[in-house]
Structure 1
């Protein structure tokens, strides 16, 4: 996850936020404001914007100090834990709500559900949030995907709403629900290229390969008239720790 620290400021400005209604969905599911809340992999606070609106005392877990510095500047009232979720020790009795936005895939796949369940208080809520970047114009989407495949043909996209299936299959939670929101997001070329520069598969490449990729994408978007319209799919997965979960 510390890969993103190299572009922490850009990440904060280029990544789209989440619909404010997410906070209302969490409150309705939980049945009110939880006594405490922990956000996993908070980054610069894109998810924190809606999680803070839940109104519970908030602890943000973020392992990258560069991301955490931006986060602290934006949310001075949050308690920030510098480290990974896997090594974090939950308080006695657990927390009322554990939230995670666009970071579930960075957690240990063999332990993430067990650890989240163990960290929750009996009857506590898990809320996992994520974006899926689609394109309103299928031809634009195909052309962009071909350009990205030329940059790195080894990248494989996860199935749609994969984290819903992951939480459900763990068997650790009850009442697993999925809520989907779609947003039309037009982006000018500069904004779109800035977004691309914050993606993990892009950041793993050398500066030279990144420059070539951005040049190719820029030419492509010029051919679209200078704008790309994203079909942003936001999925919220909610689940409950059973009172007798055994932790």
Structure 2
């Protein structure tokens, strides 16, 4: 399995955790979020479990429970933590136990775990404070593993998204982000380099490893628009603004044949505690 080189990651790293209002907007439609967001590579789930001393997992920013259910399917016991009651309630209905709060302020009440994981959510956590909190709740030999998907839609689709976003929300930072030439992989490499650096700065962790998993998934027009509506920034648009964006992107997908295959890269930053708590 390929390993991402920390030295190859661009700098400076983004700090989305300073913009929690975006993080807490995903619960606007938890049903769509759970339906449209992709699962994680089974190889990632298997590798995390294989490198932990047991099967009790703490899932930070568990959302609707996508990765939590994958760990449960693999035989693990999972406790989720999420700041959004709407997302948490959906996850509970699927069989995931969830407590409400941000990880930095959440009270573990003396409980410890074999792994602390976070799928597509660690960038909403202060990387140093979060890593320091993880040390407190990990058992000897446990593992902190944070991971997420990097992907770039075809140029015609991303171009239509940037142009539509500029029309409906020109003053938004995400309008500028949509128009940038930097690839999602470059952005996520920087983000996960920042996560690894947070583990180093928190102390009491082994040297972080960075894992990489490449895979692909095909989308129809409607499937991609369903996914797109769950992404940061679009979750904060009005219904009229969202309709403009989705119509524009949908027309671009129609122009390339009505669908496409997305190349995904799932990145992970992971480390184990050293010494005693």
Indicate whether 1:108 and 2:126 are aligned.
yes
**Where does residue 152 of structure 2 map in the other structure?**
134
| Structure 1 segment 224-243 matched on structure 2, within 5 A | 224-243=256-275
**Where does residue 177 of structure 1 map in the other structure?**
209
The one of 206, 230, 247 aligned to 1:215? 247
Gaps of 5+ in 2: 1-22, 167-174, 179-183
Indicate whether 1:84 and 2:105 are aligned.
no
**Where does residue 7 of structure 1 map in the other structure?**
29
Q: Distance in 2 between matches of 1:93 and 1:46?
A: 23
1:148 CA displacement: 2.2
The one of 203, 207, 211 aligned to 2:235? 203
Secondary structure of the equivalent of 1:85? coil
1:101 CA displacement: 0.3
The one of 89, 92, 106 aligned to 1:72? 92
Q: Distance in 1 between matches of 2:147 and 2:72?
A: 14
Secondary structure of the equivalent of 1:116? helix
Relative to its length, the structure with more helix (as a share) is: 2
Q: Distance in 2 between matches of 1:235 and 1:56?
A: 22
Gaps of 5+ in 1: none
The alignment's TM-score, normalised by the length of structure 2, stands at: 0.78
How many residue pairs get matched? Answer: 236
- State the Cα deviation string for residues 153-209 of structure 1 (Å, max 9, x = none): 322667233343123213132142222222221100000000000001211222222
| Structure 1 segment 156-195 matched on structure 2, within 5 A | 159-170=187-198, 171=200, 172=203, 173-195=205-227
Secondary structure of the equivalent of 1:87? coil
Contact 1:63–1:84 under 8 Å retained in 2: yes
Moved over 6 A (4+): none
The alignment's TM-score, normalised by the length of structure 1, stands at: 0.87
The one of 15, 32, 54 aligned to 1:33? 54
1:2 CA displacement: 2.4
The one of 69, 72, 88 aligned to 1:52? 72
When the two chains are superposed, the root-mean-square deviation of aligned CA atoms in Å is: 2.1
**Where does residue 39 of structure 2 map in the other structure?**
17
Q: Distance in 2 between matches of 1:16 and 1:67?
A: 16
